[in-house]
Amino acid sequence: MGSIEHSADPRVWTSPDSDALHEACGVIGLYAPGEEAARLTFFGLYSLQHRGQESAGIAAADGRRVAVHTDMGLVSQVFAEADLRRLPGYLAIGHTRYSTTGSTRVVNAQPIRVECELGALALGHNGNLTNTQALRAELAERDIRPYGSTDSELIALLCALDPAPTWRERILNVLPRLQGAFSLVLLTGDTLFAARDPLGIRPLCLGRLDGRGWVVASESCALDTVGAQFIREVSPAELLTINAEGVRSDRLPSEGRRALCTFEHIYFARPDSRIDGRLVYQVRQRMGAILAREHPADADMVMPVPDAATPAAVGYAKASGIPYEEGLVKNRYIGRTFIQPSQKLRSGSVALKFNPLPEVLAGKRVVLVDDSIVRGTTTPRVIELLRKAGAREVHMRITSPPMKFACYLGVDTAETEQLIAHRLSVPEICRAIGADSLGYLSLEGLIEAIGLPEAMLCNACFHGRYPLPVEPDADKLALERAASQRRLAATTGGTTRVAPALVPLTDLLPADR
């Protein structure tokens, strides 16, 4: 949460504030004989829009050809009826993006498409690799210059360059070389693939569609939208191959450890999704109830910062006996637009997103529940809104521990030094945000609410103990600076062509449109 930022694409401005956590992406893939897979994917992406709002795209296949359409903006802005008609076939993958590697440009929109002697491969990626520089150097040694600047494209290129005779074998060869977080959907002319990293950092699930087809998605809410039945989670270190022969499961090398990102439960996932067999809504309610136990308040009402904190505020209210009220109304259509606001509106971005209810707040002692404080730039403005609307006291309660360390595994956070909890103690943060009191959920309380052993969770942003080696000096634009300065002025997704495996290229061929 913070001031409105311009994206790297001059047509798009970002309304979700800079102090907010932003997920990497949402992915979905369908094998749906007899169906218009792209159309189903389009509606499935709506369910995953919360996971990324910078760009969106769909790749579809009809048994032979792979067609792709991507562009900047929300799903509703990227696709029209005519676009879906140009994506025929019974297989499709979809992607909605928030960048963690590579800038906000259409060249980095996904699915990414590459070509080699086996044909075309399209890929969508949720996560973040931690060995991108080594992978980029390997491609550079072979004179391969990526089309864009994402770690996702490196995965696709490595698959295209592998010498194995089939796509499945190539993918199985490449995935063990990847370090970091990845939930992947991949598409060839006749096969859908889905893979999850050995630690299971980002979620991915499998569903059955009308007894004939299959769906994989970042969250189970997308299965509900397309009418699929939830079957199971894709296991960490698993590759699924889905085609006319059925579903085949291959295991990747793994140490057997787990490290699901706890922020999936705290903030990212939709409350109606199930992750590790747990309904996210109920997990968030338990967070609020435990927070009430750990940090009680003498107050007249409990209210959330909408929307992610709403279940937790309900839980806090029930556990504390303090009435639940809604004191802020969120404008859900202030998200992403091609119309840039005036400087006055940009500087007042909190007022763009929230309207307080003075008749509800006047004279009240308020418990304000939110999921996190990142940089600490927006929370003071929200508290100020409540005070101007008449709130007598504001007691801030946060459903996560203090965030002290940056994430390198698929979440776009501020750098460690910019995180307010890295620099200030809890009493100092309380004074900085202008609250009457401040309480964070303890790590023990968070683990209790989720109901999984700590050894199965990634809590690195709270204590700095990452589940695998990271590149702390790397940032999301590192590949951008390393990439070739030759950029194509693209307005739709492109294709990177690579020569037959082991034959280096001196340049890229123009992208097909």
3-state secondary structure of 368: strand
3-state SS, 447-511, equals HHHHCCCHHHEECHHHHCCCCCCCCCCCCCCHHHHHCCCCCCCCCCCCEEECCCCCCCCCCCCCC
Residues 6 or more apart in contact with residue 173 via CB below 8 angstroms: 162, 164
The letter for the amino acid at 238 is E
Residues 6 or more apart in contact with residue 319 via CB below 8 angstroms: 288, 289, 290, 292, 293
Alpha carbons 337 and 331: distance in angstroms, whole number: 13
Catalytic residue among 25, 221, 407, 458: 25
Catalytic, 261? Answer: no
Cα 191–131–48 angle (5° rounding)? 50
Alpha carbons 221 and 67: distance in angstroms, whole number: 26
Alpha carbons 504 and 321: distance in angstroms, whole number: 68
Residues 6 or more apart in contact with residue 439 via CB below 8 angstroms: 291, 294, 295, 297, 395, 396, 397, 398
Q: Are 7 and 335 in contact (CB under 8 A)?
A: no
> Radius of gyration over alpha carbons of the chain, in Å?
23
3-state secondary structure of 176: helix
The letter for the amino acid at 476 is K
Alpha carbons 24 and 411: distance in angstroms, whole number: 6
**Residues paired with 398 in a beta bridge:** 370, 440
The letter for the amino acid at 223 is L
Strands 365-370 and 301-304: parallel
Residues 6 or more apart in contact with residue 401 via CB below 8 angstroms: 440, 441, 442, 443, 446, 459, 462
Q: What are the backbone dihedrals phi and psi of residue 239, each rounded to the nearest 5 degrees, phi first? A: -115, 125
- Residue 351 Cα to chain centre, angstroms: 25
3-state secondary structure of 231: strand
Max intra-chain CA distance, the chain: 73
Q: What are the backbone dihedrals phi and psi of residue 260, each rounded to the nearest 5 degrees, phi first? A: -60, 130
Any idea which residues carry the catalytic annotation? Answer: 25
